[in-house]
């Protein structure tokens, strides 16, 4: 039995092979990511840095018009730098989960995956279709 879903998937696979479509999709994903990071800072930071908020807003707009995957990766990286640079202002002082002791107790029994066995498949996920 053939359903509409099969035709939809065929179209999706066909478009995934088109560089212009992959860039268009990646632009939307990165723009959404930056906007969500900015929203998190606005909602949860004790005093959101105005310069970072302004730059992140500009970067979200630039992401939507990036001309290449490399340019888009640069925009995404700069926005992440700003977001994680202000991340500590979103941590609450009395929050036990934010304390170093809690981090150690959470990680007890967790083993690291050797570097050689880690997958690098997702390392360029923002620009891969």
The DSSP annotation for 75-118 comes to HHHHHHHHHHHSGGGGS-TT-GGGSHHHHHHHHTT--PPPGGGS
Residue showing tokens 């939307």: 28
Residue 124, in any domain of the structure: no
Residue 54, in any domain of the structure: yes
Residue 109, in any domain of the structure: no
Residue 97, in any domain of the structure: no
pLDDT in tens, the chain (129 residues): 556 788 889 898 999 999 999 999 999 999 999 999 999 999 999 899 999 999 999 999 999 999 999 999 999 999 999 999 999 999 887 656 555 555 545 555 555 555 554 444 444 444 456
- Residue 46's domain comprises 18-89
Q: What's the DSSP call for residue 71?
A: H
Residue 84, in any domain of the structure: yes
Residue 67, in any domain of the structure: yes
Question: Has this prediction a pTM greater than 0.85?
Answer: no
Residue 47, in any domain of the structure: yes
Work out how many domains the chain is built from and give that number. 1
């Amino acid at each position: 039995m053939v359903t509409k879903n099969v035709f939809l998937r065929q179209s999706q696979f066909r478009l995934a092979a088109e560089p212009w479509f992959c860039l268009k999709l990646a632009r939307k994903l990165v723009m959404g990511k930056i906007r969500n990071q900015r929203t998190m800072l606005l909602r949860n930071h004790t005093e959101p840095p105005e310069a970072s908020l302004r730059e992140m807003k500009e970067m979200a707009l630039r992401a939507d018009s990036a001309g290449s995957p490399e340019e888009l990766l640069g925009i995404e990286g700069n926005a992440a730098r700003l977001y994680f640079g202000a991340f500590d202002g979103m941590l609450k002082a009395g929050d036990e989960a934010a304390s170093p002791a809690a981090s150690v107790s959470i990680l007890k029994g967790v083993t690291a995956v050797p570097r050689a066995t880690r997958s690098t498949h997702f390392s360029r996920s923002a620009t891969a279709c």
